[in-house]
Amino acid sequence: MKYIYIKTWGCQMNEYDSSMIANLLIQEKKYLLTTSVEQADILILNTCSIREKAQEKLFHQLGRWKKIKNNNPNIIIAVGGCVANQEGKKIFKRAHYVDIIFGTQTLHKLPKMISEIEKNKKHSIDISFPKLEKFKYFLEPKKIGYTANVSIMEGCNKYCSFCIVPYTRGHELSRPCDDILFEISILAKQGVREINLLGQNVNAYKGLNSNGHICRFSQLIRLVATIDGIDRIRFITSHPIEFTDDIIELYKDIPKLVSFLHLPVQSGSNKILKLMRRSYTVEEYKLIIEKLMVVRPNIQISSDFIVGFPGESEKDFQKTMSFIKNINFDMSFSFIYSSRPGTPASKIKDHIDIKEKKKRLFILQNRINIQTMLWSRKMFGSIQSILVEGISNKNIMELCGRTENNRIVSFLGSPKMIGKFVNLKITKIHTHSLKGELI
């Protein structure tokens, strides 16, 4: 028996890709998955290039694995994901002990690449962009919980000035509608109750159905909602420019669609949004939220924010802070701007001191944390529907589950409830979690 170890960095798309890799190697090569680096015969690193110095993070990790390979030269080291697409053969030059480099769109070739390495002991690289070819190697998914991620599309055409995704994931390509529904149906039969649809820009989805007609994102959601066993639907990530009225209507018609939306805005300043090439204004974003509030008054919004983008003045930052308060965002992913190689923003002169950037980030995150707690306090005494996911990590005598608005709730209950929905009364509020009692 041979063992594979997979280390994954980055977004849920990468997590989904890693699950595909594991599935492929287990079923095609009869390998076993291990959580021990020392036990592994094959070490796979699935990388992310969103954050600053992603390349250095990669080589630091490879340096640790080099010591393992020195002790066992037969170990195969493979690097995939966005940094693999970004750096390509440069990885071999800095880390000659790496055996395989595969891209975001060529992970399905990994079994063959491994066989070639075992036979010829030569480096192997494939970071090409075959159109959705990896999904043609679809194998029956294996349930690992009662919620599941399903990728519906790849790539992005927006080319925001700060973002490297279009260069590492390629252009927008949508999976056929029937393939997605088939995958979700299998998961539902296995006991999955909640589906999270994934894509760099899910609301740009335009997949073909069996009749050869285009299925829009709103139509796909309606079809997913008809699948028996699926009781909750989420999706991530959306772009405001394509958050159209037919998607907003879903929140009126589809109760299975959660009352929680992650919709990245990045900045509350129109000047900065223009520099970012986001193609919408603060006012247009606010109009989307207002329309959503009409059809789903209890919806909560989370977002992404980039602080210290080149050209961001104190006035621009204060506009962002006012916007955060005005929309009353529940949560956020917020970061200091980091230049990504090859992006248009990397050519803009950055005059903002790092201390000032850190200060702005602290202020922004503190404001969001306050709003998160205020939203949680509104839940005190309320009745919430919880999908019970398992035993609590903090107390083995308790179960835990997740609310529609992404709060973890722990409570006393029977293990027979795992995988089912229960109603809880929220009795305690903590910074990052809640306590509840069974109704």
CATH number (domain holding residue 180): 3.30.750.210
Judged against a pLDDT cut of 90, whether residue 165 lies above it is answered with: no
Residue stretches of the annotated binding site: 11, 48, 82, 156, 160, 163
> Mapping DSSP to helix (H, G, I), strand (E, B) and coil, where does residue 323 land?
helix
Residue 266 lies in a domain: no
Burial of 6 (0-12, 13-18, 19+ CB in 10 A): buried
Q: Is residue 312 part of a domain?
A: no
Residues 144 and 120 grouped into a single domain: no
Give the number of C-alpha atoms closer than 13 A to the C-alpha of residue 125, restricted to the C-beta side.
Answer: 14
State the pLDDT at residue 53.
73
Is residue 281 assigned to a domain? Answer: no
* Residues 285-302 pLDDT 10s: 999 999 999 999 999 999
156 and 254: one domain? Answer: yes
Residue 135 lies in a domain: no
Q: How many CA atoms within 13 Å lie on the side-chain side of 16?
A: 24
Average pLDDT, the chain: 93
Q: Is residue 272 part of a domain?
A: no
How many CA atoms, within 13 angstroms, populate the side-chain half-sphere of residue 345?
Answer: 24
Number of domains composing the chain: 3
Residue 199 has pLDDT above 90, yes or no: yes
Question: Would you state the pLDDT for residue 139?
Answer: 62
Residues tagged in the binding site annotation for [4Fe-4S] cluster: 11, 48, 82, 156, 160, 163
* CATH of residue 61: 3.40.50.12160
Last residue of a domain, one of 96, 126, 156: 126
Task: Show the 3-state SS of 85-123.
Answer: HHHCCHHHHHCCCCCEEECCCCHHHHHHHHHHHHHHCCC
pLDDT > 70: percent of the chain: 97
Domain's final residue, options 258, 276, 291: 258
| Residues 120 and 54 occupy one common structural domain | yes
Give a yes or no: residue 248 inside a domain.
Answer: yes
326 domain residue, yes or no: no
In the predicted model, what is the mean pLDDT of residues 164-177?
89
Is 242 among the domain residues?
A: yes
Are 151 and 250 found together in one domain? yes
Domain identity same for 97 and 157: no
Same domain, 153 and 122: no
Sign of the torsion angle spanned by Cα atoms 60, 126, 128, 46: negative
Domain extent at residue 150: 140-258
- Residue-level pLDDT at 143: 67
Where is the domain boundary, 67, 99, 126?
Answer: 126
CATH number at residue 401: 2.40.50.140
Average the pLDDT over each of 34-38, 223-227, 300-304 and give the range with the smallest value.
34-38
CA nearest neighbour of 166 among 340, 338, 332: 340
